[in-house]
Amino acid sequence: MVIHDLFDKDITVRRMSDISSNKTAYLTATTSVPAHRQNLTETEAQLIDGATAKDYKVWVDEDANILEGDRIKITDHKTGNVTQELEVLSIEHKDYGFAQNPHKEIVAVELDRG
């Protein structure tokens, strides 16, 4: 099995951009990226200084254009519904397993909906 077989979500990346001389906003990217999302384990969450169950790992292709600080919208493949909006905290490049599955592993936190 290759890691791409696990990709069951799509993500849309939004990056902070200047919209005028003194204003910035998160703009929506024009492309979506296949991905897989899962909850962080309790141990992993504790390493992020007080993280809660609203923290996730997101796996994407190694070529995906995602940076720390970006915001990503998670969309379910089957329904097309946006399920969450997350902020990217960190990104690691991974390459392991039987098939040498190169990918990016993103740690992200769910944005407060309040």
Residue 36 has which token pair?
């897989």
Lowest mean pLDDT among 26-30, 36-40, 80-84, 92-96: 26-30
**49 Cβ contact list (under 8 Å, min separation 6):** none
Mean pLDDT of 8-31: 80
Strand partners, 14: 28, 71
Q: Determine how many CB atoms are found less than 10 A away from the CB of residue 15.
A: 16
What the chain holds in terms of domains, given with CATH numbers, is 3-110 (2.40.10.270)
Mind listing the pLDDT tens digit for each residue in 32-90?
889 999 888 665 665 555 545 488 999 999 999 999 999 999 988 788 888 889 999 99
Confidence of residue 91 (pLDDT cuts 50, 70, 90): very high
Per-residue confidence (pLDDT) for residue 45, from 0 to 100: 60
**15 Cβ contact list (under 8 Å, min separation 6):** 26, 27, 29, 67, 69, 70, 71
- Reported pTM: 0.78
